[in-house]
Chain A
């Protein structure tokens, strides 16, 4: 069998359907690919080889009797923030110890329902807090991409760095990821992959280790727009186990890809030009505009005036929720525990040892902004900003159908380059946090390589529940960009 990992997800589905190969063979190819590369890239924290082959054989058996799901036999990687029954789930934190949940997240349940195969659990920033994957307690992921003529190890972005690297390096056909402030889209941009965060409430949060509940949303990272559409369709859907899950029908995203952009209005927000943004990104943005114009879209200038307050608001709301969400990691019922002299000492030792620096920083910030005397000035004000940002978008939708922006203000940077400066790191989320604060769907697609030969992404933000338009636009852009570079 020639290299099956060269096939993308929808090609693999066709091959499986045609009987060219089995899921067992396909899965074994990916296990081999992981075996060959993971030592260098550190994308997988756990490889569930036996389970993968067992699932693949079961898939082959189903296919033999004509019982074929939408992802039948497709080997996927799972971000280690999704609880997987009986499989160690770490959130890339030491504090979870050897925790292996007795339950399965709703998103992964949906994937298995549709026939997918689990290869293993993917590395991430600890509790999804980070933009470079360097906060993982199990070591950073390495971006399979390198600068031209350089061997400097680069970040795959974060927090879904393991997912993005694994997809880019063909260590899976697609991966689940989560996005709280850009954690799907920024890594996708850094690795030349497609990452979408759907509308808040589209994917159930049940069984996903919570970071910031009002912002967290699952989505796929895939090699191309169509693979992304197939995966997202499977992941989405109403779930009574998540009160914030939306009770709406799942749209046909693959069909929406064929709709084109003729007559569509694409908004260009003037506030997304930031100081110090490389010229290349600005020109890529212009290139994207030209592609859409060429395909018949109308380009309109719009204003999202509260954009500059988004990042500060995000770094209040997200840590506030996180400080409460992470209170359960107290060493009492599960996970790691360090015994102290008394209860308080045990709490302190457990949490001081179990959490990494970035997580501690955010717990402290979150605790501070919710404290008596500071609540109004920080948390409440940030919530007001959040309402203004949503209002900005609501106003924009009177002028346009979708918004085009860069995904990140830079290409992948070197590991260690920003890790000593949290503010610099946080600035990476400047274009992505607004969609989380407003609950809107947004995709990042690879558009070009920069001067160093690193991928750059463009972001399309859509109206709430209008993933279909996003896929229409993304498909047009994908064809125009014809991005075929490989790490």
Chain B
């Protein structure tokens, strides 16, 4: 058992993509530094985050050992299972304003998070078997694969996760070579249907969007959050106030400063230089992942790892824009930086898939 584990690890270290691993480690270290400041000296937060990283890295290593060909044969089953978890949330779920979580005794599971991984898997599985670029029939089937889980997530209601799942699916289709004029048509249709979609939004979602348009209208609630987050970022300046010196976080002006607003803390304490460093790390991770995808051996591997890499970038863009007041407040964490269990583990698991693609590129299946 020990010997097997050792061989297994040696093989992993031999085949792992070191640039990608180092990039991820860089963000994780930054996360622990920010959390140890944002947590206000509460070592519990740092230890818990570190434990999640360990769990996530273990998941990443294990998944990286699964050949993409095997993953592909399992894909329909995995997708069906994660989809089946969704109705359970409505029965067993818990959450503050929306029922997003299933309590598993030792930790909370957020099935929406799993779908961010399994929806692009299912699309890659399907697109692997059709002629690319996809035609209307294939696009309709893709729309169904995306639409069903997204509808369930939005009904929870969790608009942020729903949009991310939809984006992760859309990226798979985009990478599959969907024609630009078709993309333009879809985007146009989506924008046109916004007034109709507005009718279906929950009151708190509507208020967030209204507040985004006019933050001063709600100085007690979400508008307050945006104002305080902008003050935190803006007061950081070039070089920031220094580690542990962010007044916005430590005086509790920033809400949820360990989770959704963790990047505001980094911006306040490390300044624009710190922000640029993180952005550079994120861009490197995305670029490296896309490069791995481009060199993959089959369509399934390419589409899956490419879609996961682009989804990762969406996290960065949406969270970064939200906390700077450039987008409405949606519950999207800064990937690997924010404090949160399911998010960190599922993100690292998705990099496990990308590393598996890298490790198995030489073989023909």
Whether chain B is bound by chain A comes out as no
